[in-house]
Amino acid sequence: MNDAIEDGIKLGQIKQEFIDANDPSLKEDVEKDETAENENSGDEQDEGKEGIIKITLSDLNVVASTSQPPSETQVSQKENSVNEDNEMVLIVKTKNKTDKSEPTNETELKINLDGFPKLATSMDIEIYEGNIETFEELLKDAKTNFINANNSQDKKQFKKDINFYEDELKVAKKELENYLKEYDTEIKVEAYFTKSKNKTRVKQTFTITEKGIN
């Protein structure tokens, strides 16, 4: 990741599951977590408490945090819903990489985005979109000049301009399309407690745009 990411990257959220069959090792870990939870979940009607885990983005770090250690946290509205074996897990995924933290009883987990290849930057996207806007404006002006031209020679020249800017606009749009196909613009995040996954799991997706991450 280059320095442009640090200049451009801010915050947001979105779509899509991110534990899939194409990542067998991750799926295995998750299945183990789910098995452990089924053995320790207790009353299925016992709903989890909101806001146990918070996900934020700080500089180039995805952060999952809790107010107290997982092993000391009441995970539902029920009394005595503390599980001393609970630990927190953080998963961050893009198209090109998945990173899963080791379970911990700490109140904060971080995964740095520096290790994620082909992560798009808002600066790059802004440049590509700026090129598109420039050629759209030039094409608009060329069409106006063509309509207002007083003689055939001028019309001929403005027609050439129209054809040129139409071609350049197509190229600019294709360049942005190719960039967005090659580079990741979505950062999917999940965090939960190992023994109380259904009650504690939180998901969020950060999306990189020309305005930052929002």
Domain residue limits, the chain = 3-117+187-206, 122-181
C-alpha 174/C-alpha 183 separation (Å) is 14
Q: Are 71 and 103 in contact (CB under 8 A)?
A: no
pLDDT tens-place string over residues 59-91:
889 999 999 999 999 998 787 889 999 999 999
Lowest mean pLDDT among 49-53, 111-115, 130-134, 188-192: 49-53
Output the six-digit token pair for 138. 């030039």
CB 55 within 8 A of CB 64: yes
φ, ψ dihedrals at 206, nearest 5°: -95, 130
Q: What is the pLDDT of residues 131-168, one digit of tens each?
A: 999 999 999 999 999 999 999 999 999 999 999 999 99
pLDDT score, position 214: 75
What is the spatial distance between Cα 7 and Cα 85, in angstroms, rounded to a whole number? 41
Neighbours of 172 (CB within 10 A): 19
pTM over 0.85? The answer is: no
